[in-house]
Structure 1
Amino acid sequence: MVMATYNRLALLTRLLEQLGRQTLPPSDYEVVVVDDGSKEPVREPLEALAKTLPYRLWVEGQQNAGAAAARHRGVTRARGDIVLITDDDMQVPEDFLQRHLEQHPPGSRHVILGRIDPDPAIQDMPLFERWYAYLHDRLAQRLDAGGARGFNLYTGNVSFRREDYLAVGGFDPALKQSEDIELGIRLEKAGCRVGFCGAAYVLHGSDHTSFEKWLARAHRYGIMDSRLSDRHADVPQVDPWRMLFEMNALARPLLATAVVLPGPTRPVTEALMGAARLADRLGLEQVAFKSTSVAYTMEYLRGARAEAGSWREVARRIARYRRASAEGEAEPRPGPARKDVSGAS
C-alpha cells in the first residue's frame, strides 16, 4: 500500500493505526509512506509508530515535488505485486485491504476503483467540500452500474498490478493535477480492465477550508486538463471544453462569459458562491450544489482559457473536442470537477 503525505501527521497516524487492524494477515502486506517535503518531517515519529504496528512500514522522504512524484516513488519502493493507493486523510474499514485483493485474481490485469464515502462529520465542512462528496456519490452510483473507464481513475482509492504501472511509465510528475486520470487512460490503453468495488470503501474527511485555494485548484485543473487533452485527444471525456456543452443550458451563458472576459467576471463567480452559501443556510442543498458547480466550472474554464492563450487556439480546441466527441463515444465524464484529495502538494 502506498500513500503520499504533506503536513498531515495526525491524520496519517490515524490511518496507519487503522491499517494495523485489517482482516488480512499483517505478513501479507506492507505500507510505504512518502513524505513530500512536510514542514515538519514525519520520518522520526513514523519510525517510532512503526514499532507498534503489526505490518512493515517503510518511510521515504523527498523535497516537495508534488503528489505524482511522491506516489511514483512509493510505488517503485513497494515490493508487492498488487499496489493500493489512498490518501493520508482517509479512514478505512477492517476489511479494506482484503476487499481490494479479492478483485485481483492470478493472471488478471485489473485497475480497481474503490468507493469514496464522506466522513461522518461532513456537515461540519465547507460547502465546497460537501459538494465534492456529492460528486463522489454520483460517480460511485454510475461506476457501480458498470462501465468504469481509465479516465475515472482517482488516487483516493485505487489498486492495480505494480507490473502494469511500471510498464506504462507510472505517474507523470509534470502534471500537478489530473495525473491520476492520465495514468488511468494509459493503463486502459495498455489493456488493463477498469472495475469498481463499492465494498472497498474509504471515508474521506478534509482539512481544506480556504475558498481562494479551492478556486485556485479549479483554475489549475483547467490548465492541466488542457494539457491532458493535448496528449489524449482521442478521449473527449477529459477535454475541459466539454463543459460548454455538458453543463445545464441555463449555466452556459455564465461559462461563456468566464471564457470571453476571464478577469471582469471573477466577481460573478464570487457572487454565485455567495448565493450558494445563502441557499445552503436556507436548507436548499441541491440549489447550493448546482450554484457551486457553476462557480467551479467558471474558474475551471478560466484555467483552460489561460492555457489556450489566443482566441484562435480556443476555437481550435473547441473544434477538436467536437470532432472527437462525434467520432468517439458520447459518454460524459461524471461530474464537472476533479479533486486531488491528497495532502501532498
Structure 2
Amino acid sequence: MADTRATQRNTELDVVIATRDRPPGKLAACLDALGQQTFGHFGVILVDDGGRDPVARRVRSSHPGLPVRVVRNEESIGPGASRNRGVALSGAPYVLFIDDDCISRPELVARHHAALDRAGGPAVSLGPILAPPGRRMPPWTHWDADRLGREYDRLDRGESTPAWTHCYTGNLGVRRADFRAVGGFDERLARQEDVELGFRLSRVGCRFVFDPAAVVWHDSDRSLRTWTRIPALSARFDVLIDQFVPDAGRLPSVREDLLRRHWLLRLARRVCGPPAARRCAVTGAIGAGCLLHALHADRPSLAAFSLVWDLEYTHALAEATAASPRRVEQRAA
C-alpha cells in the first residue's frame, strides 16, 4: 500500500476522503474547495481505494498548496475500511469525513472544528449535504436532494432532533478518540456504514450537533441504473445492521417509518405485490417521473420516484428478512 506525504505538520483537524475512480474534474473540484477554507490548521488525508488511475501524482501537481496526504490501497478494500485507514494515519483530535464529489463552503472546516471543540466531550457534528445552487439535476438525483433537504429544514427549524440516523459520510465530524473507542466503521458493510457507526457513537454517549451553515454541495453524477439498485441494497444492509447490532432497533424503526408513509404508497405496495405488477409499476413510474421532470412538473415527478423507491425497497426488505443470515450477507456483498 503506497503512502505519499505531501505535508508534515501538526493539525487540529484532518479531512478524510475515500476515493475510487472518481472523474478527475470532480475530485479536483472537491480539493479546490478545501483549498479555500477559512480555517488554517487542518490537513487532508485522501485514500485512493485501488482505483484504476492512481491519484497521487495528479493531486501533487494540481494542489501544491493544499496539505494533502495521499495513501493508496493497491486493491480495493471498500469505503469503510478506506476511511478507517485514513483515520489511523491521522494525529489530529478531530476528523471530518466528506465524499470525493462534495464541494465544501469556505467555512465548513471552521464550523465543524468549532462545534466539536465547543462540545467539550463526546460529540458528533453534522452539516447539510445540499444540491448545488442553480443546477437542475436529473430527476432521480433531484429526488435524493429533495428528501435530504426537507430533513435538514426540519432540523434547522427544531422540528427534528439531530441523531445517529443523520450520520452521513458526505459531511460528518467526529472526535478521533470517540471514533477509535467504538472501533471505527464496520468494514462488513458496504452501505449505511455511516449510520451504523452513528448508532455505536450514540451508545457511548456522543451528543449530535447540527450546524445548518456547515454546508457541502453534492454534485452527484449517479446514473439512473445505479440509482435504481440503491433501494434494494439499502434494504439488505438494513437487515444486516439489525443482525450485527440488534439493540439498534433498525428494522422496527424502518417498519414504523413505512407505516407512516403516504396512503397511496401503502396502497401501491398491496396492488403491486406480484412481481410482474411491481416491474410494470416501477418502469411506468420512472418514465412518467422523467417526463414530468422535463416539463418542470417537479412535485408529481418527485412523487413518481418516491413510488419507485418504496416498491423496490419494500420488495427487497421482504426478501431479505425471509432469507437466512448467511444468504442475506452473501447477497448484500
Q: TM-score, normalised by structure 1?
A: 0.82
Query: Which ranges in structure 2 are unaligned for 5 or more consecutive residues?
Result: 1-14, 326-332
CA contact (8 A) 1:240 1:304 kept: no
Counterpart secondary structure, 1:34: strand
Pairing partner for 1:144 from 144, 152, 156 = 156
Q: Give the CA deviation at 1:178.
A: 0.8
AA at the equivalent of 2:29: R
Cα 1:176–1:207 shift into 2, 3 Å: same
Q: Give the CA deviation at 1:261.
A: 3.0
CA distance in 2, matches of 1:165, 1:192: 10
Cα 1:290–1:119 shift into 2, 3 Å: same
Show the counterpart of 1:222. Answer: 235
Superimposed CA distance per residue, residues 256-284 of structure 1 (whole angstroms, 9 cap, x where no aligned partner): 455x4346522211111212223223332
Counterpart secondary structure, 1:170: coil
Counterpart secondary structure, 2:214: strand
Show the counterpart of 1:122. Answer: 135
Cα 1:263–1:213 shift into 2, 3 Å: farther
Cα 1:283–1:18 shift into 2, 3 Å: closer
Pairing partner for 2:68 from 57, 62, 68 = 57
CA distance in 1, matches of 2:162, 2:252: 14
CA distance in 2, matches of 1:134, 1:196: 18
Instruction: Considering Cα pairs closer than 8 Å and 6+ residues apart, tell me whether 1 or 2 has the greater RCO.
Output: 1
Pairing partner for 1:48 from 40, 61, 67 = 61
Counterpart secondary structure, 2:213: strand
Q: Does 1:298 align with 2:314?
A: no
CA distance in 2, matches of 1:285, 1:176: 31
Counterpart secondary structure, 1:175: coil
Count of paired positions: 306
CA contact (8 A) 1:93 1:201 kept: yes
CA distance in 1, matches of 2:271, 2:233: 19
Show the counterpart of 1:72. Answer: 84
CA RMSD of aligned residues (A): 2.2
Q: Does 1:166 align with 2:180?
A: yes
CA distance in 2, matches of 1:200, 1:238: 31
Cα 1:257–1:305 shift into 2, 3 Å: farther
CA distance in 2, matches of 1:222, 1:74: 28
CA distance in 2, matches of 1:263, 1:77: 50
CA contact (8 A) 1:244 1:256 kept: no
Cα 1:91–1:10 shift into 2, 3 Å: same
CA distance in 2, matches of 1:243, 1:212: 26
Q: TM-score, normalised by structure 2?
A: 0.85
Query: Which ranges in structure 1 are unaligned for 5 or more consecutive residues?
Result: 314-344
Pairing partner for 2:278 from 265, 279, 284 = 265
Superimposed CA distance per residue, residues 83-104 of structure 1 (whole angstroms, 9 cap, x where no aligned partner): 0010111111222211111112
Counterpart secondary structure, 1:158: strand
Show the counterpart of 1:16. Answer: 31
Superimposed CA distance per residue, residues 174-213 of structure 1 (whole angstroms, 9 cap, x where no aligned partner): 111111110011101110001100111011111112x221
CA contact (8 A) 1:68 1:173 kept: yes
Q: Does 1:275 align with 2:288?
A: yes
CA distance in 2, matches of 1:118, 1:280: 16
CA distance in 2, matches of 1:178, 1:100: 22
Cα 1:192–1:238 shift into 2, 3 Å: farther
CA contact (8 A) 1:115 1:140 kept: yes
Superimposed CA distance per residue, residues 229-287 of structure 1 (whole angstroms, 9 cap, x where no aligned partner): 332455357744345302111111222455x4346522211111212223223332111
CA distance in 2, matches of 1:153, 1:257: 34
Pairing partner for 2:99 from 63, 69, 87 = 87
Counterpart secondary structure, 1:84: strand
CA distance in 2, matches of 1:212, 1:94: 33
